[in-house]
Structure 1
Amino acid sequence: MPLVSIVMPAYNSSDYISESILSILNQSYTHWELIIVNDNSCDSTVNVITPYLNDKRIKLINNIRNLGGAGSRNVAIEQSKGRYIAFLDSDDLWHADKLSSHIQFMTENNVGFSYSNYQQFYNDKNNTLITAPVRVNYKQMLKSNFIGCLTVVYDTTLFGKFYFPETKKRHDFALWLNMLKKFDYAYNVGEVLANYRVHNASLSSNKKDAFQSYYYILRNLEGLSFFRSFINTILFTILSLLKKKNNTLYLFFVKLFISNIQFSK
């Protein structure tokens, strides 16, 4: 059983982090290490984490100063020892077979970069299924971020460790693009294996800020032309709104505007 390193940044996460840790402890796949990076929290996050440190698979790193999500994840990646690296934020949840399904799928299909479908939930209700493509490449990924961070598992034996670009927003999207310059495709395991918690803050997130951050990655980090960056950002914005409102219409528009992309039935 190869070791899986689970990366978990935590900032003022006392309300939810216990649930997230328990979803890891309940994994049917048991050969993992959980690296929690406390990003200089000012609540009782560390007190909540401390009892779980009795399990030697769980490690806690305390940042001296606030590094943000990307910086904290990079600290954990640097310290990781596993062949596989996976990500779970301190308020999200995994299904019990999350890791076993990924490792089996990746081993049997010789896959180095995998993800899964997931559900969004708000206040323990209003579940919304987020269906991802069967597989996605770099060119397709430019048009929308199809991969949820909480669903990713990748194999470090192929191209080594990947680190999050230090962008203000959407550093996970920037990372997937960097990885897809090495991996020909990322592949969907084909199951719903995680739950993404939606907060009030995320429900009322600034759409202008989301547009600007997406455009910044395409234009400044990826070096796309102004026209390609703008058009792809418009498409991303439309698809993001549809994904939250109407899954059927969302899938229709994805297939309409992105060539050679398929979704599992």
Structure 2
Amino acid sequence: MANNTPSISIIMPAYNSRGTIRESIQSVVNQTFTDWELLIIDDCSPESMKDIAESFHDERIRYIRLLKNSGVAAARNTGITQAKGRYIAFLDSDDLWLPEKLEKQIQFMEKNHYAFTYTWYRQFVTTPSQPIRLVKTKASVDYRSLLHGNDIGCLTVMLDRQQVPHIEMPGSYHEDYITWLNILKEGMKAYSLPQDLARYRLSKKSLSGNKKKSLTWTWKVYRESQNLSLLAASWYMACYIVGGIKKHYL
């Protein structure tokens, strides 16, 4: 990599996020690891967020505004296409990272030569300093184990493009889950750094908050995206439901 090429490209899709994006950007600026670029992809919001991005006066921050509203997958894919870094990380415009997130994760990847990693994180509603639940993950997942349910928070993922050259999110619900499955389908594993390094904002508008829709989308992941048989899809759906009950209620 050339000296003027950042090690990590951070992809931040944004839509109507003026109330939260400043805090999200600040959590990137506060990183102890400084060799990064932040690509903010404004998905044609009614109110531009360019002024907020420019208010940081940081050349590492790049603001890109889409000409039409195309959805979060298209926004992320635009960011991936424009990214200059070897590593790709994702952070939505209402979520946050703890200051050592990038430093610890890239050290974890480089030490072990991992291509795909993720971390623990905490959920919060309004105040990041008052999180409500720690989301722990399995030490590692492969394709089959990930079919039991998505154990990977998008805001914690980091991918090495030298080992995962093709990263593209489909225009379907649970686009991140499908992306992880498609990557692991090639025989790869994803590894967890078992440390709490991010904050995920819960809201009534959150797509993942609608359990009925999430079940429908997960079924489509199994049947339409991954082309599983009816029997296999039913088995994994049962595992997904049981896992969800354990995760949220036990």
Same topology, TM > 0.5? yes
1:96 pairs with 2:99: yes
Query: 1-side partners of 2:215 and 2:71: how far apart?
Result: 20
Greater than 6 Å deviation, 4+ residue runs: none
Match for 2:222: what amino acid? L
Q: Residues of 2 paired with 1:238 and 1:42: CA distance?
A: 40
> Partner of 1:100: helix, strand, or coil?
helix
Structure 2 counterparts to residues 9-48 of structure 1, below 5 A? 9-43=13-47, 45-48=49-52
Matched residue SS, 2:163: helix
Give the whole-Å Cα distance in 2 for the aligned partners of 1:224 and 1:38.
35
CA distance in 1, matches of 2:155, 2:100: 14
Match of 1:122 in 2: 125
* Distance (Å, rounded) in 1 between the aligned partners of 2:43 and 2:78: 10
TM-score with structure 2 length normalisation? Answer: 0.93
Query: Structure 1 CA distance, aligned partners of 2:229 and 2:62?
Result: 43
1:242: Cα distance to partner? 3.0
Contact 1:159 1:182 in 2 (8 A): no
Match in the other structure for 1:185: 189
Query: Does the aligned pair in 2 maintain the 1:128–1:244 contact within 8 Å?
Result: no
8 A contact 2:208–2:214 mirrored in 1 = no
Q: C-alpha displacement at 1:16, in angstroms? A: 0.6
- Greater Cα offset, 178-187 or 108-117: 178-187
User: Any conservation in 1 of the 2:97–2:199 contact (CA below 8 Å)?
Assistant: yes
Residue 232 of structure 1, aligned match among 228, 236, 240: 236
| Structure that is richer in helix per residue | 1
Letter in 2 for 1:95: L
How far apart are residue 236 of structure 1 and its match? Answer: 1.4
SS in 2 for 1:81: coil
Kindly provide the CA deviation profile for residues 91-117 of structure 1, in whole angstroms up to 9, marking residues without a partner as x: 000011111111111111111100001
Which residue is equivalent to 2:144?
A: 139
- Once the 2 structures are TM-superposed, how far is the Cα of residue 171 of structure 1 from its aligned partner? 0.3
1:179 to partner: Cα distance? 0.9
Is the counterpart of residue 199 in structure 1 residue 203 in structure 2? yes
Post-superposition CA distance 1:188-209 (Å, at most 9, x none): 1121110100012239933221
Does structure 1 residue 77 correspond to structure 2 residue 80? yes
Contact 1:117 1:194 in 2 (8 A): yes
Contact 1:112–1:183 (CA<8 Å) still a contact in 2?
A: no
d(CA) in 2 for partners of 1:88, 1:206: 21
Residue 68 of structure 2 corresponds to residue 65 of structure 1: yes
Q: TM-score, normalised by structure 1?
A: 0.87
Structure 1 unmatched runs, 5+: 247-265
Q: Helix, strand or coil: the match of 2:120?
A: strand
> What is the SS of the residue equivalent to 1:224?
coil
- State the Cα RMSD in Å: 1.7
Counterpart code for 1:233: M
Q: Which residue of 1 aligns with 2:115?
A: 112
Aligned partner of 2:126: which letter?
N
Moved more, 17-26 or 155-164: 155-164
Higher mean displacement: 232-241 or 73-82 = 232-241
**Secondary structure of residue in 1 paired with 2:247:** helix
Q: What amino acid maps onto 1:130 in structure 2?
A: V
| 1:207 partner letter | K
Question: Matches of 2:125 and 2:154 in 1, distance apart?
Answer: 18
Conservation of the 8 A alpha-carbon contact between 1:35 and 1:80: yes
Rounded to whole Å, the distance in 2 between the matches of 1:50 and 1:141 is: 39
Letter in 2 for 1:103: I
